[in-house]
Amino acid sequence: MRYYILKNVLRQMRFVLLLILIATTGCKKKNDDNTGQSKGLKVYYSDFFPVGASVGSSNLTGDESILLIKEFNSITAENAMKPGPIHPSENNYYWTDADKIVDFAVANGMKIRGHTLCWHSQTAAWMFLDATGGTVTKDVLLQRLKDHIKTVVSRYKGKVYAWDVVNEAIDDDNSKIYRESSWYNICGEEYIAKAFQWAHEADPDALLFYNDYNTESASKRDKIYNMLKKLLDAGIPVHGIGLQGHWSIYWPSETDILSSISKFSSLGIKVQITELDVSVYSSSANFSVRTPGDDTFTSDMEQKQINFYKAIFRDFRTNKNVINGVTFWNISDRHSWLDNFPVANRKNYPLLFDKDLKPKKAYWEVVNF
Ligand code: XIL
């Protein structure tokens, strides 16, 4: 009898011990070091993909630079490599800011994404004009594009590992395919294939991306897919698609994001999230729906953003075989381009670090897996 009691007690003790063990080890989230100190996104994601941020040269000193070095292992120039800033007039390239960013990345062992070689926006007017102020011919414009791409890509050859070759060439309007930009209006769709060919000639080792936003809208997704398929079938060197990832706590759904990842990767190309931020406003929300001056980060926004970030990073990890980079657009909520877009002077809170550069709750959900 006594033996049975003892046996039972021992069995229960074993059970309790097991519970304690699970509570202290098994259930303990892998990346929670209990110190409240982050190890760095790049460390938590070292088995998955590089994690980057977009920067300007002013972010390369002071506390932001310390955060950059600790958290990220990839960098994109937020503006400095775009056609307008880097090639302000025909015979003049402005390298200073882009060089600073490249030097910073090289000095700190970070990868560099090049953004962007051909875009309808932030391109200086001279590109499309002849000496008399009229529109240039297709031949002249293609020659200028070729010169631009060869010059910029060659300068950073071996340092920039991936280029957004063409940015935002597809229209949002369902009734149109290509965006009717000056590039398209003067050259037709041909400029897209040419841009990839010239970038490839200038640096055969660079990964070449087509980059766009709203890639989770079903109709835009299909249009981009068709364009990429056509380019790939024609043997054009396209190696990946950049989903910009300018998302919000309301859009898109996880299903939409997963559909894009799976549809684009079915073409045999890589997928990167190139400009990730999660706005706390819906796209239709404007300042007038809130009390002017009231742009606080509410607990409802915070919770929705936590859920959103947690879900998408889980999906990115699950798809690590096709996702080979995730880049945030800006570093922290101290400054985001969304503070002024699409509504001027409306503060947004789209990133994983707060304005004091401290990890937000969403950060911990992203790294504790
Ligand atoms: C934005 C920059 O963040 C801003 O500083 C600039 O004023 C406008 O461009 N899609 C892109 C990026 O591909 O280049 C844009 O960057 C954001 C949307």
Q: Domain holding 90: CATH number?
A: 3.20.20.80
Same domain, 50 and 25: no
Mean of pLDDT over the chain: 92
pLDDT of residue 25: 43
Q: How many percent of the chain have pLDDT more than 70?
A: 87
Question: For the chain, first and last CA: distance in Å?
Answer: 47
Closest CA to 241 of 215, 276, 277: 215
pLDDT of residue 286: 62
Rounded distance between C-alpha atoms, residue 50 and residue 116, angstroms: 19
pLDDT of residue 251: 96
Task: Describe the crossing of helices 190-202 and 218-233 by its angle, rounded to 10 degrees.
Answer: 60
Report how far Cα 255 is from the mean position of its chain's Cα atoms: 19
**Would you place residue 244 in the very low, low, confident or very high pLDDT band (cuts 50, 70, 90)?**
very high
Contact indicator for 179, 227 with CB cutoff of 8 Å: no
pLDDT of residue 295: 81
Contact indicator for 84, 123 with CB cutoff of 8 Å: yes
Same domain, 151 and 123: yes
Asked whether residue 235 carries a pLDDT value surpassing 70, the answer given is yes
Same domain, 2 and 72: no
The residues near 52 (Cβ < 8 Å, ≥ 6 apart) are 72, 73, 74, 75, 76, 110, 111, 113, 325, 326, 327, 328
Same domain, 23 and 119: no
Same domain, 26 and 141: no
Same domain, 44 and 26: no
Token representation of residue 209: 């991306």
Number of structural domains (the chain) is 2
pLDDT of residue 14: 59
Same domain, 180 and 196: yes
Q: Which residues of 298-315 are buried (b: 16+ CB within 10 A; e: fewer)?
A: eeebbebbbebbbebbee
pLDDT top residue among 283 and 191:
191
Protein residue whose Cα sits closest to atom 12 of ligand 1: 78
Q: Given ligand 1 and candidates 75, 165, 170, 341, which is best to mutate, with the most ligand atoms within 8 Å of its CB? A: 341
Task: Describe the crossing of helices 218-233 and 254-265 by its angle, rounded to 10 degrees.
Answer: 10
**Would you place residue 343 in the very low, low, confident or very high pLDDT band (cuts 50, 70, 90)?**
confident
**Which residue segment(s) compose the domain that 22 sits in?**
1-30
pLDDT of residue 92: 98
- Atom number in ligand 1 closest to CA 54: 3
339 lines ligand 1 (CB under 6 A): no
Asked whether residue 171 carries a pLDDT value surpassing 70, the answer given is yes
Q: Which residues are catalytic?
A: 168, 275
CA of 337 to the centre of ligand 1 (A): 7
Q: Model confidence over 87-124: pLDDT tens digits?
A: 999 999 999 999 999 999 999 999 999 999 999 999 99
CA of 206 to the centre of ligand 1 (A): 22
330 lines ligand 1 (CB under 6 A): no
Same domain, 65 and 10: no
CA of 205 to the centre of ligand 1 (A): 26
| Nearest 10 degrees: Cα torsion 267, 272, 275, 281 | 70
Rounded distance between C-alpha atoms, residue 343 and residue 340, angstroms: 6
Asked whether residue 240 carries a pLDDT value surpassing 50, the answer given is yes
pLDDT (mean) for 284-290: 59
Same domain, 17 and 164: no
Rounded distance between C-alpha atoms, residue 66 and residue 29, angstroms: 26
CA of 78 to the centre of ligand 1 (A): 7
Rounded distance between C-alpha atoms, residue 117 and residue 306, angstroms: 34
Same domain, 21 and 158: no
pLDDT of residue 12: 62
Asked whether residue 19 carries a pLDDT value surpassing 60, the answer given is no
Same domain, 56 and 26: no
Q: Which residues of 73-97 are buried (b: 16+ CB within 10 A; e: fewer)?
A: bbbbbbbbbbbbbbbeeeeeeeeeb
Rounded distance between C-alpha atoms, residue 237 and residue 145, angstroms: 17
Same domain, 299 and 175: yes
Q: Model confidence over 63-84: pLDDT tens digits?
A: 999 999 999 999 999 999 999 9
**167-176, 197-206, 241-250, 339-348 — which is least confidently predicted?**
339-348
Q: Model confidence over 182-217: pLDDT tens digits?
A: 999 999 999 999 999 999 999 999 999 999 999 999
pLDDT of residue 26: 40
Q: What's the pTM?
A: 0.91
Contact indicator for 55, 101 with CB cutoff of 8 Å: yes
